[in-house]
Chain A
Amino acid sequence: MGKENIIQIDNHPFTFEPGETLLEVAERNNIFIPTLCHLKGTTPTGACRVCVVEVEGARDLVPSCATPAAPGMKVHSESREVIKARKNIIQLMLSSGNHNCAIRKFDPDDWTSFHLKVLNDDQYNELCPVWGDCKLQDLAYRYQVITKEMPISESKYPMERVNPFILRDFSRCILCGRCVQACREIQVNNAIDFGYRGADAKIVAGTDVPLKDSECVFCGECVQVCPVGALIPKETLATKKRFDESTTNTVRTTCSYCGVGCQLNLTVQDNKIVEVNGVDNCPPNNGSLCVKGRYGYHFVSSENRLTTPLIKKNGSLEKVGWDEALSFVAEKLKEIKEKHGADKMGVLTSARVTNEDNYIAQKFTRAVLKTNNIDHCARL
């Protein structure tokens, strides 16, 4: 790499690798450039244009996500022109749908009628369900975008609720296309795409059918990448108490289904898992999950969980205390070992429990029972 692979961003020089985009160089150097449609690991589409920057000598502003760095480029990441353009883009997006968060400044009359409409169209009587967790809202704040007096546009398409996992609210979709990229280029399930043209544009599944009738396998990658409230996990909405972040915490762990070992962030509220997301930029799954990992967490707080030890008495299992159960097991195992010998006894450890649990199970079998009759269901 020669000296020539240098660009200036906001009057500071930065080196770049051939092929790197302006956005990538900026991100690597902690220079903020807003993005909405950009999705790491996929082909840049330049669809939303919120990442535009000014390049000296260029006729127009350029989308930084789709513009490769070239030697000697002088880039301004947040010039007046750039800010103006971004404000415009954000304003257009806000006005294009049902973005009822506090960034809207309404006349009282307008506010009432707006809310009545929301109540009509929407099962939520509060603000947008992703309020406080919305990239568009964040950007509107950052760029002080005011939508006062902007007419509220009706959504052409009704909300889709006919599947157990994902709610598709087209009235909040900004057509950034991240869901399409996630579905086609990351998960390669090819379930959704852009459909129709111009003002009718819509993200469609198959030939514009509900997700459940399409190729969709509910991996939820689209939900995880949706920057606004157009795709939301149906259940989270019902169970998670919103606006009460103090009781919510996130715990990083490993998925307990197949052997891939996806890294998960569990969102926990009131001792319950209320949402699961993949951990971005981290192997092995780089943020991706499947339907079981993302939506199959209810067994944890199931009412059918075992809560006390049970001993079979007169043919039926009865609740007992730990002391009784543990002593009973220890006595019985000792008795069988003396009567029949250790090789008539066995332990099935588990592919579901931790390494530490497995280690203790085999240590117990070998060191206490004194047999190698230990196995698990790897074969099944």
Chain B
Amino acid sequence: MAGLAAAFGSGAMTNTIADIETADVILVTGSNTTENHPVLSTFIKRAAMKGTTVIVIDPRKIKLTEHSAKWLRPTPGTDIAWINGLMHVIIEENLMDSDFISNRTEGFDALQETVKKYTPKYVEDITGISSDDIIQTARIFAKAKRASICYCMGITQHTCGTDNVKSLANLSMLCGHLGKPGGGVNPLRGQNNVQGACDMGGLPNVLTAYQKVDDAGALKKFETSWNITGLSSKPGLAVTEMIQKAEHGDFKSLYIIGENPLVSDPDLNHAEKAFKNLEFLVVQDIFLTETASLADVVLPSFCFAEKDGTFSNTERRVQRIRKAVEAPGFAREDWKIICEIATRMGTPMKYDNAEEIFEEIRSVTPSYAGITWERIDKIGIHWPCPTLDHPGTPILHTVQFTRGKGLFHAIDHQPPAELPDNEYPLMLTTGRVIYHYHTGTMTMKSEGLNIMSPECFVEISSGDADRMGIANGEMINVFSRRGKIKARAQISPKAVNGTVFIPFHFAKAAANRLTNAKIDPVAKIPEFKVCAITIEKAA
């Protein structure tokens, strides 16, 4: 989200889910939407059915390509190049929205200078996308009245993830496709409350609503509200940094709530060592996950169906969740456990219920100030919603950008941290399948989902499989410089020669034993989407 925040001043979907269906052109990149956001994909597929031009730009021949007018296949890790290529053509052919550029943005000259060398031919050499496709796509996107960009982890999980996002923001601003229905730059959030966790200040550098920890005014406000002193103005460490420090014994305790980094983190062999090096590990979860089994203390908590509260979805809509069943055994609500510990550490934190916490959130969070549980009882509200009579904001940046003017960033292509070579000749990219979710702690409790997707697989093109003499369904070993897993080969038309895909859900054959922990310097996202591997038949 750092990329969008830098360009627009606000890191969230600019438009709503329903709004995507009203676009004339939808550019989907780095999102296997039908499997990761199935319901959101229905809006894209319906739009395509009614005549919207859908363009998919993805290394895999994902399901959505069956609904798209165009599928462009870049070599993994070359996104900046094709985006710059599109912008090169748009500027060259004078298809940009000059009014929008001059009135609403800054930094255009530098951008123009940078994309000069990204001729269709130059881009073809880097990305493998034909120059014709670059030119045609540029024209379609620029000439559309309303063009929406949807992206997901295929864009962000790179060492250049932040720059990839800034590049997409450039492309949209260049054509003036922002601040209006059917347009926008829309990051699709993969987890139910990622947006909310960020909004609530579950990040090392910001408090709620992205108020910076080094903003003295903001800190003072929180100190007053919380009736304490001495809040730290020093930005904290990102999860990836904490783990790297722990590996070297330079980090002592971690309190983990509802996450399973021992399956979801990159380069697991190192991560595992890091967790074992901690002096004290607390895990608060609903299951004894791989991570919890390493903990010094495990605290049982409630799941979504057992508590009252709110989630904020990918389109910034704050929605209610409600208690439906009683939690098992002696499990307790997450916030109650934390408040108890705070109190025992000498700083009393006491609330009668979750709504009381929400009222406190409103008082220190400008974008949530106008939202009450009562107002969202039936239908959720999109933040920013500053006052009780404000209807919420479905579309951002309609009059001006959150930061004032939209900022173009001049960015050059940079190759992934690790590329195939003689020793590790294939590219690995990771992701999810429709039947499972993240590390599978929830979905793998449903027999039906396990029947449909029982185990890990290595999706490989028939060309690569033939070359290596691998049969469909055969067990193969996959190696990277960091680890090894064994899984079944699945020959699939989704795969393209030279690139294999492995879902990361399965702890038994954890794809993240292979992935590279190299991170984006700004967003601190690991490069899950590209690393070099080799495969061989299992003995």
- Using CB atoms and an 8 Å cutoff, list the residues of chain A in contact with chain B: 164-165, 185-188, 212, 217-219, 235, 251-263, 266, 268, 271-273, 282-285, 288-293, 295-302, 304-312, 317, 322, 325-330, 332-334, 336, 339-340, 342-368, 370-380
Give the chain A neighbours of B239 by CB distance below 8 A.
Answer: 346, 348, 375-377, 379-380
Listed A/B pairs (7) with beta-carbon separation below 8 Å: A307-B329, A359-B335, A368-B345, A372-B205, A377-B261, A377-B264, A378-B197
Assuming the contacts A290-B39, A346-B242, A376-B197, asked whether A322 and B330 have C-beta atoms less than 8 A apart, the reply is yes
Interface: B497 (CB within 8 A): no
Assuming the contacts A258-B190, A290-B38, A353-B258, asked whether A307 and B331 have C-beta atoms less than 8 A apart, the reply is yes
**Is there an interface contact between B293 and A306, defined as CB atoms closer than 8 Å?**
no
**Is there an interface contact between A268 and B237, defined as CB atoms closer than 8 Å?**
no
Give the chain A neighbours of B195 by CB distance below 8 A.
Answer: 259
Closest 8 CB pairs of A and B: A307-B329, A261-B313, A259-B189, A372-B236, A354-B309, A164-B448, A290-B38, A350-B258
Interface: B51 (CB within 8 A): no
Which A-chain residue is minimally distant from B353 (CB atoms)? A356
Interface: B191 (CB within 8 A): yes
Which A-chain residue is minimally distant from B306 (CB atoms)? A300
Give the chain A neighbours of B319 by CB distance below 8 A.
Answer: 254, 261, 263
What CA separation (Å) do A327 and B240 show in the bound complex? 29
**Is there an interface contact between B235 and A372, defined as CB atoms closer than 8 Å?**
yes
**Is there an interface contact between B38 and A310, defined as CB atoms closer than 8 Å?**
no
What CA separation (Å) do A376 and B264 show in the bound complex? 12
In the complex, chain B residues 60-88 whose Cβ is within 8 Å of any chain A Cβ: 67
**Is there an interface contact between B324 and A253, defined as CB atoms closer than 8 Å?**
yes
Total residue contacts A-B, CB cutoff 8 A = 466
**Is there an interface contact between A296 and B349, defined as CB atoms closer than 8 Å?**
no
What CA separation (Å) do A266 and B306 show in the bound complex? 12
Min distance, Cβ B52 to any Cβ of chain A, angstroms: 12
**Is there an interface contact between A347 and B322, defined as CB atoms closer than 8 Å?**
no
What CA separation (Å) do A126 and B48 show in the bound complex? 45
What CA separation (Å) do A282 and B377 show in the bound complex? 12
Interface: B518 (CB within 8 A): no
**Known contacts A306-B298, A373-B242, then 19 further A-B pairs from the complex at CB < 8 Å, ordered by chain A residue:** A186-B46, A253-B304, A256-B305, A266-B305, A271-B326, A284-B18, A284-B313, A292-B436, A299-B443, A305-B303, A307-B331, A322-B330, A343-B234, A348-B256, A357-B333, A367-B228, A367-B347, A368-B349, A377-B259
**Is there an interface contact between A285 and B193, defined as CB atoms closer than 8 Å?**
no
What CA separation (Å) do A317 and B213 show in the bound complex? 37
Which B-chain residue is minimally distant from A332 (CB atoms)? B280
What CA separation (Å) do A307 and B299 show in the bound complex? 9
Interface: B185 (CB within 8 A): no
What CA separation (Å) do A255 and B40 show in the bound complex? 13
What CA separation (Å) do A164 and B446 show in the bound complex? 10
Give the chain B neighbours of A186 by CB distance below 8 A.
Answer: 42, 46
**Is there an interface contact between A302 and B189, defined as CB atoms closer than 8 Å?**
no
- Interface residue stretch chosen among B97-105, B166-174, B522-530: B522-530
**Is there an interface contact between A188 and B196, defined as CB atoms closer than 8 Å?**
no
In the complex, chain B residues 182-207 whose Cβ is within 8 Å of any chain A Cβ: 188-205, 207
Find A354's partner among B191, B305, B354, B446 (CB 8 Å cutoff).
B354
**Is there an interface contact between A272 and B325, defined as CB atoms closer than 8 Å?**
yes
Assuming the contacts A186-B46, A188-B45, A188-B46, asked whether A309 and B298 have C-beta atoms less than 8 A apart, the reply is yes
In the complex, chain B residues 282-306 whose Cβ is within 8 Å of any chain A Cβ: 282, 285-288, 292-293, 295-301, 303-306
Min distance, Cβ B475 to any Cβ of chain A, angstroms: 24
Which A-chain residue is minimally distant from B293 (CB atoms)? A317
Min distance, Cβ B378 to any Cβ of chain A, angstroms: 7
**Is there an interface contact between B232 and A366, defined as CB atoms closer than 8 Å?**
yes
What CA separation (Å) do A348 and B191 show in the bound complex? 15
**Is there an interface contact between B259 and A266, defined as CB atoms closer than 8 Å?**
no
Which B-chain residue is minimally distant from A235 (CB atoms)? B448
Find A380's partner among B48, B261, B313 (CB 8 Å cutoff).
B261
Interface: B1 (CB within 8 A): yes
What CA separation (Å) do A211 and B318 show in the bound complex? 36
Interface: B10 (CB within 8 A): no
What CA separation (Å) do A298 and B378 show in the bound complex? 26
Min distance, Cβ B328 to any Cβ of chain A, angstroms: 5
What CA separation (Å) do A299 and B258 show in the bound complex? 14
Which B-chain residue is minimally distant from A344 (CB atoms)? B252
Contact-size category for B: 35 or more
**Is there an interface contact between A298 and B192, defined as CB atoms closer than 8 Å?**
no
What CA separation (Å) do A364 and B342 show in the bound complex? 7
What CA separation (Å) do A342 and B253 show in the bound complex? 10
Give the interface centre of B230, B324, B360 by most chain A CB atoms within 10 Å: B324
Give the chain B neighbours of A347 by CB distance below 8 A.
Answer: 254-257
Min distance, Cβ B240 to any Cβ of chain A, angstroms: 7
In the complex, chain B residues 204-255 whose Cβ is within 8 Å of any chain A Cβ: 204-205, 207-208, 213, 222, 226, 228, 230-232, 234-240, 242, 250-255
Give the chain B neighbours of A301 by CB distance below 8 A.
Answer: 325, 328
What CA separation (Å) do A263 and B320 show in the bound complex? 9
In the complex, chain B residues 30-45 whose Cβ is within 8 Å of any chain A Cβ: 34, 36-40, 42, 45
Which B-chain residue is minimally distant from A282 (CB atoms)? B379
What CA separation (Å) do A304 and B441 show in the bound complex? 10
What CA separation (Å) do A356 and B301 show in the bound complex? 14
Assuming the contacts A299-B303, A374-B204, asked whether A352 and B338 have C-beta atoms less than 8 A apart, the reply is no
**Is there an interface contact between B526 and A380, defined as CB atoms closer than 8 Å?**
yes
Find A379's partner among B208, B305, B342, B526 (CB 8 Å cutoff).
B526
What CA separation (Å) do A150 and B314 show in the bound complex? 54
Interface: B479 (CB within 8 A): no
What CA separation (Å) do A10 and B361 show in the bound complex? 53
Give the chain A neighbours of B452 by CB distance below 8 A.
Answer: 164, 212, 218, 291
**Is there an interface contact between A259 and B286, defined as CB atoms closer than 8 Å?**
no
Find A344's partner among B67, B193, B253, B310 (CB 8 Å cutoff).
B253
Which A-chain residue is minimally distant from B336 (CB atoms)? A360
What CA separation (Å) do A292 and B230 show in the bound complex? 45
Assuming the contacts A312-B296, A379-B156, asked whether A357 and B334 have C-beta atoms less than 8 A apart, the reply is yes
Min distance, Cβ B289 to any Cβ of chain A, angstroms: 10
What CA separation (Å) do A358 and B338 show in the bound complex? 10
**Is there an interface contact between A326 and B340, defined as CB atoms closer than 8 Å?**
yes
Find B197's partner among A185, A329, A351 (CB 8 Å cutoff).
A351
**Is there an interface contact between A300 and B236, defined as CB atoms closer than 8 Å?**
no
Which B-chain residue is minimally distant from A372 (CB atoms)? B236
Give the chain A neighbours of B345 by CB distance below 8 A.
Answer: 330, 333-334, 368
Give the chain A neighbours of B315 by CB distance below 8 A.
Answer: 261, 284
1/0 per residue, CB under 8 A from A, across B96-120: the answer is: 0000000000000000000000000
What CA separation (Å) do A373 and B265 show in the bound complex? 18
What CA separation (Å) do A333 and B314 show in the bound complex? 34
Which A-chain residue is minimally distant from B394 (CB atoms)? A283
Min distance, Cβ B111 to any Cβ of chain A, angstroms: 27
Find B338's partner among A268, A298, A340, A361 (CB 8 Å cutoff).
A361
What CA separation (Å) do A372 and B288 show in the bound complex? 27
Find B337's partner among A261, A296, A326, A339 (CB 8 Å cutoff).
A326
**Is there an interface contact between B446 and A297, defined as CB atoms closer than 8 Å?**
yes
**Is there an interface contact between B321 and A354, defined as CB atoms closer than 8 Å?**
yes
What CA separation (Å) do A344 and B258 show in the bound complex? 21
Which A-chain residue is minimally distant from B337 (CB atoms)? A326
Give the chain A neighbours of B286 by CB distance below 8 A.
Answer: 299, 305-306
1/0 per residue, CB under 8 A from A, across B339-351: the answer is: 1111011110100
